[in-house]
Amino acid sequence: MTLTLLLDLDDTLLNTNVQAFTPAYFQALADHLAPHIAPELMLRALISGMRLMNESEDFSRTLKTIFDAEFFLQLNITSGQLQPAIETFYDDIFPTLAGLTSPIAEVKPFMDWAFSKGYRVAIATDPLLPCKATRHRLHWAGLEPKQFSLVSSYECFHFSKTHPAYYAEVLGRMGWPDGPVLMVGNDMERDILPAKKLGLATFHIDGESASSFGPEAVPYGNLADLRLWLESIDLSTLMPSFKTADSFVALLSATPAALNGLLYGLDDNDWARKSAPDDWSLTELICHLRDTEREIHHMQIQLFNEQNEPFIPRPDTSVWASQRDYLHEDGEQALKEYNDARRETMGLLKNINVQDWERKARHAIFGPTNFFEIVSFMADHDRMHIQQAWAAMKKM
């Protein structure tokens, strides 16, 4: 049973003291860009862009897209006018901030042990900074970015860590691995509570060694304690548990975000490629998701809106790929249409009262059910096809 470890970076793997580091970082950027833009204006635009990234729930726009739209609008210049100076900052100036951080002695022994156990390890840092900045911080911690299955950054992620959907997007970008998952971080508000809200097990890094762990409380301690704890427990107890409406809303929001990231930049050959004659191409897969969203998921939600105990039909979608000639559609356009269809789904879900998630129905295949279970089927369907898309991408 392979454990998937999601690790925070700042003050978990690297002593950062964010309260001191962030102002120094912002001031250094303002000073560097001063020949191009007034520091006061730059800082206002920077803070405004960061705020919008934190608030964004738009799975179709990366956090960089959100930030750039606000930042350059506030500055009243184009990104092309300032981007070379920004790139120079992250190449040459940002590394000089290393002295405001310090490595943690327990990190390398813990990472060596985790990799020796065959764990999948991702750096689940708040994706509010460019990839270059995160790579520098990993190096300051004594780590190599290429060691990890995934490192989140604002170029390719769609949610900040305030949203449970961020954690689902991380797992989606990793191909929705089966097995236990553990989120490890020092920030209760951004690392622990959102991950728990999704349904993930968590471990709180608080810098103090823990002598024991209560059965109900979030386990805590330093990285050495984390290793001892992992060695002492049954990893099957760390299986994700999706049991709330909030968790399923997060899962459904994260699916298009993960697919948008996984499939970004494909050419026509990539979209049409089949790993085997009977496999679906990525175009066929996305067309299937789009039409299932439009014709199955929307219908199911509307039936609950219109009827007291609806009968939920389940058309045979397996024949759609050949009947509708999905292979010859435009995969990139189909992905945009799937995003639109899922956005409509999220709107429909917002109109369902919390108490109505328990409303009963009868499913054509599964028999007696309720709205909660119907939505769980949608999320299961999402995960299965993300795994399929991820596997196809790995073979390219």
Could you state, in order of their start, the residue ranges of all structural domains in the chain? Answer: 1-239, 263-394
Q: How would you classify the pairing of strands 360-363 and 367-370?
A: antiparallel
Q: Terminal CA-to-CA distance of the chain, rounded, Å? A: 27
Q: Among 107, 131, 111, 132, which residue's Cα sits nearest to residue 120?
A: 111
Q: Which CATH number fits domain 263-394: 3.90.79.10, 1.20.120.450, 1.10.150.120, 3.30.930.10?
A: 1.20.120.450
pLDDT means per 10 residues in the chain (396 residues)? 96 93 96 96 97 98 98 94 96 97 97 98 98 98 97 98 98 97 96 97 82 67 95 96 95 98 96 90 98 97 92 92 96 98 95 88 94 96 97 90
Same fold for the domain at 1-239 and the one at 263-394?
no
pLDDT at 277: 86
Residue 238 and residue 233: Cα distance in Å, rounded?
9
Q: How would you classify the pairing of strands 150-151 and 14-15?
A: unpaired
For residue 8, the SS3 value is coil
pLDDT at 53: 98
pLDDT at 208: 65
Q: Where are the alpha helices (DSSP H) in 76-121?
A: 79-88, 107-116
Average pLDDT value for the chain: 95
Q: Which residue is listed with tokens 């006018």?
A: 81
pLDDT at 351: 83
For 280-309, the DSSP string reads PPHHHHHHHHHHHIIIIIHHHHHHHHH-SS
The conformation of residue 10, written as its DSSP 8-state character, comes to B
pLDDT at 213: 57
The conformation of residue 362, written as its DSSP 8-state character, comes to E
pLDDT at 170: 98
pLDDT at 216: 54
For residue 94, the SS3 value is helix
Residue 238 and residue 218: Cα distance in Å, rounded?
12
Residue 287 and residue 272: Cα distance in Å, rounded?
12
Radius of gyration for the chain, computed over Cα atoms and rounded to the nearest angstrom: 23
pLDDT at 353: 85
**Six token digits for residue 75:** 């500055």
CB 271 within 8 A of CB 331: yes
Residue 86 and residue 79: Cα distance in Å, rounded?
10
CB 8 within 8 A of CB 186: yes
pLDDT at 354: 83
pLDDT at 278: 86
Top-level CATH class of 1-239?
A: alpha beta
Q: Provide the residue type at 99 as one letter.
A: G
